Amino acid sequence: MLILLFNILFNKKARKYFIYPTLIFLLILTFSFKKFEHIKHRYIDWPISSITSSEGNILKKLIQTPWGVHYITSYEIFLNNKIFGSGLKTFREECKKDIYSLENISKKYDLNTKYPGCSTHPHNMYIELLTEAGSVGFILFFILIFFIIFKPYFKNINYIKDKQDVIFVLSIIFSIMFPFRPTGSFSGTISASNLWFFIGFYLYFINNLKYKK
């Protein structure tokens, strides 16, 4: 959905090719909600029941979801490891400590949730970076992204003949890096592999002289 929306908004030359797939996708999604109970439960019923079953404002309700409890636990770990983090792939071990137990987290933030705050990773790559790499690692990551993605874009985009190729690959990178969604582990799942894989394609299109005017 993010890829389709990104291209409809920013990929002018290829926009017409994405409007119809978007409409078809929405029709299929609507049909799936009506036809398949497990899809409707996963994307509509369960999120609504998770939020409406708890008390408090919308922020507190979101915190009491499975992902929200992971984020709060990550935040607590970050507070104790602000500079360099707890170390890559250490969330799964740190969250087992008593100070980050569900009982202590619930008491501190006045939560009423049955979901555990401990898992293999925080389920958001930015929160994972802050927790495991600290402020230093988090800042270095964005400096790296700037020099890999943004600097070549502003330097070369006006000389690219087929900008739609660059924008399409950027839409994939954007969907992977979109911050407001749960993700796989940045250092332990295919999420990061996909990111660097498509960044490789992007650098090919943005820097390859064959594509320049």
* Per-residue tens of pLDDT for the chain, all 213 residues: 899 889 989 998 888 888 888 889 889 988 998 889 888 888 888 778 777 766 667 788 888 888 899 999 999 999 999 999 999 999 999 999 999 999 999 999 988 888 889 999 999 999 999 999 999 999 999 999 999 999 999 888 888 877 888 999 999 999 999 999 888 888 777 878 899 999 999 998 888 755 555
72 and 162 both lie in a single domain: yes
Range of the domain at 113: 54-211
CB of 125 within 8 A of CB of 187?
Answer: no
Residues 107 and 45 in one domain: no
Residues 26 and 63 in one domain: no
Which H, E and C letters describe 21-85, residue by residue?
Answer: HHHHHHHHHHHHHHHCHHHHHHHHHHHHHHHHCCCCCHHHHHHCCHHHHHHHHHHHHHHCCCCCC
Q: Assess whether 35 and 80 both reside in one domain.
A: no
Q: What total number of domains does the chain contain? A: 2
- Tokens 């109970």 locate to 37
Question: Is residue 151 domain-shared with residue 126, that is, in the same domain?
Answer: yes
Find out whether 176 and 194 touch, Cβ atoms under 8 Å. Answer: yes
Q: Say whether both 71 and 36 belong to one domain.
A: no
Indicate whether 60 and 158 sit together in one domain: yes
Neighbours of 147 (CB within 10 A): 10
Q: Same structural domain for residues 141 and 207? A: yes
Asked if 79 and 171 sit in the same domain, the reply is yes
Q: How far is CA 98 from the centre of its chain?
A: 28
Quick one: 49 and 147 in the same domain?
no
Same domain, 158 and 194: yes
